[in-house]
Each structure stands twice: as structure tokens, then as C-alpha cells.
Amino acid sequence: MQIAIASGKGGTGKTTLSVALAQAWNGPVQLLDCDVEAPNASIFLSLENSSEQTVSVPIPVVDSSRCTGCGKCAAVCEFNALAVAGKSVLVFEELCHSCGGCTRICPAQAITEQPRGIGKIRTGQFGTIRLAEGRLDIGRAMAPPLIRAVKKSADPALPILIDCPPGTSCPMITAMKGSDFAILVTEPTPFGLHDLVLAVETVRLLAIPFGVIINRSDSGDARVVEYCEKEKIRLLLQIPESRKIAEAYSRGETLLSAEPALKTPLQEIIRSIR
Ligand code: SF4
Ligand code: SF4
């Protein structure tokens, strides 16, 4: 069982809800923090026995003494990560997607691959929750390989909750792929609705069943609810604006510590998804 928690935009309370769902889970569960550019689930969960591993990707290195300047490597690179000038090849690491195409096509065998670290995975335990957190190194732009590594680090025998990166681009899709269900967290504002529509289009393209949670549900207008009704989208829960929750959040405390009564509806959501 793999459930993705996502949102079209940041700041909707996606991570807060991911942590709360993990705490409401009946039994051992894994929480994968795949929001690798800004992972913050561990702020709420003080990890015990944590360990860290570096994640690397292969990056091409060109041996200029073998290069003939034929330009085939730059021509095959769909990401413009290579530029050939005479017999010298420039590699723009930030653009490289580590597809291996240039290494394979080079007729002079002038290209080899070297590992380059892109980030770290920290894993640890908080009660019955096993947290795996991906953290992209500063200056690195390639989130998907690190997200894939975080997902690969999960124990397939245990249920998985994935805190996805916000938005609807490659990182979110990489995190969400393969999920049995998606929970889209939104807020009742024009921005919330706009980005929810994008998120709904994305999960429908991925053919993943989904439902919506509206956070700070009494802080905006009714357009998100009307949209869900019109699109026949399951509205799983509405959480009203609460100063108590906001204050707890600012102290690094969890949603359930501020509003323990939310545990029952969250458990009901888990039960109905299962
Ligand atoms: S394909 Fe090989 S030989 Fe041709 S320009 Fe690239 S590195 Fe040089
Ligand atoms: S490995 Fe792929 S993405 Fe990277 S430079 Fe070579 S062809 Fe381009």
C-alpha cells in the first residue's frame, strides 16, 4: 500500500498532514519525505538511530586526448548538457540527466562516467514510524534521481506514505508514480483552486485514484468545494483554520498534538483507502 500526499502549491499543510497520517496509522508505517528541496517532516519527528547515505549519479567525463570533435555526443544529448568546440567538449553537470547516451554513442570511447553526489538520504525511527528523508545538496537541480533513491530505500513489506514535492512537475510525478492512492491537500483560495486543478489533471493522467483534503477550510470561499462537487472528486476532510494548530506548528509540534480529535477522521480516511 502506497499513499502519496501532494499539493499543486506549497504551503497548504501537506507535510503537516503527512506526519499526522503517519501518526494516525495503526501499526508500523514508513514516511518518505520526497520533498527533497525542502524536507521538513523530521522537524516534527525526533529520529532515533538515524543513519545517512550519500546518493550519486553518473556524470560524463571526456578524455580530450581521445576526442575527435565529431559532435555526436552533443547531438544525442536531449538536455543540452554538452557543447563541442573543436576537440574540446564542455559538460554542464547541472543539465545532465545521467541517461548514459553520450557515453554509448561516442565512437572514440572518449567518455567515461564518474559518480557525483547530489544529496543524502537520512533514515531513522520515531515510534512506529520509519522516516526516510531525501535532502538535495545545495546547488543541485536534479531532484528526480534522489526521489527515486528515497523510494528505493523503502521496505516493500511495510505500508508507505509519500510526502511529495509541491507542484505538478517531474519531481512530484516521480514521487507519486506507483501510488495506490493520492491525497491532494489544498486551501480554499483562488491560488489553491488554480493549483488543485493542475494537480487533479496530473493524478488523472497517472490514473491514480485520489481525494482532496481542504486545509484552513473556513479561511476562503466555496469555490474549491464547488469544483470538487462538479468534478465528482471525493472530499476526504475539511480542517478549519485554527490558531492552536498554527502555534503548535511554529513550535515544531504535530497537528495531532494540537488537535488530537483529528486522529479519528484521519484513521477513517486510511481505513477507507485501504
Ligand atoms: S562523441 Fe566522443 S569523440 Fe565525438 S565529440 Fe563527443 S567526446 Fe569527442
Ligand atoms: S549522460 Fe545523457 S544527459 Fe548527461 S550529458 Fe550525456 S547524453 Fe546528456
What is the model's pLDDT at position 172? 95
Q: How far is the CA of 191 from the centre of ligand 2 (A)?
A: 36
Closest residue CA from atom 4 of ligand 2: 96
What is the model's pLDDT at position 140? 83
| CA dist., res. 14 & res. 19, Å (int) | 9
- Residue 228: how many CB atoms within 10 A of its CB? 21
29 pocket-lining for ligand 1 (C-beta < 6 Å): no
CATH 3.40.50.300 intervals, the chain: 2-55+119-273
| CA dist., res. 108 & res. 63, Å (int) | 10
What is the model's pLDDT at position 209? 97
What is the model's pLDDT at position 89? 94
* Residue 129 in grid coordinates: 514510524
- Residues 165-191, mean pLDDT to the nearest whole number: 94
Taking only the tens place, the pLDDT of each residue in 246-264 is 998 889 899 998 899 999 9
> Would you say how long the chain is, in residues?
274
Q: Which CATH superfamily is domain 2-55+119-273 in?
A: P-loop containing nucleotide triphosphate hydrolases (3.40.50.300)
Among all bound ligands, the one having the nearest atom to the CA of 72 is: 1
pLDDT, greater one: 48 or 176:
176
Among all bound ligands, the one having the nearest atom to the CA of 70 is: 1
| CA dist., res. 44 & res. 251, Å (int) | 9
What is the model's pLDDT at position 141? 80
- At residue 145, does pLDDT exceed 90? yes
Half-sphere exposure of 177 (CA within 13 A, CB side): 12
Q: How far is the CA of 51 from the centre of ligand 2 (A)?
A: 31
Closest residue CA from atom 4 of ligand 1: 70
Q: Which atom of ligand 2 is nearest to the CA of 97?
A: 3
Residue 155: band (very low, low, confident or very high) from pLDDT cuts 50, 70, 90: very high
- At residue 50, does pLDDT exceed 90? no
What is the model's pLDDT at position 121? 97
CATH number for the 64-109 domain, one of 3.90.226.10, 1.10.490.10, 3.30.70.20, 1.10.150.120?
Answer: 3.30.70.20
Q: Which atom of ligand 1 is nearest to the CA of 108?
A: 3
- At residue 139, does pLDDT exceed 90? no
What is the model's pLDDT at position 107? 97
Taking only the tens place, the pLDDT of each residue in 16-43 is 999 999 999 999 999 999 999 999 999 9
Taking only the tens place, the pLDDT of each residue in 232-242 is 999 999 999 88
Closest residue CA from atom 2 of ligand 2: 99
89 pocket-lining for ligand 1 (C-beta < 6 Å): yes
Q: How far is the CA of 101 from the centre of ligand 2 (A)?
A: 6
Q: How far is the CA of 52 from the centre of ligand 1 (A)?
A: 37
Taking only the tens place, the pLDDT of each residue in 57-114 is 999 999 999 999 999 999 999 999 999 998 889 999 989 999 999 999 999 999 999 9
Rg (Cα) of the chain, in Å, rounded? 22
Share of the chain above pLDDT 70, in %: 100
Q: How far is the CA of 147 from the centre of ligand 2 (A)?
A: 19
CATH 3.30.70.20 intervals, the chain: 64-109
Cα angle, residue 114 at apex, residues 113 and 117 outer, rounded to 5°:
135
* Residue 262 in grid coordinates: 483529528
The answer to whether the CB of 255 falls within 8 A of the CB of 20 is yes
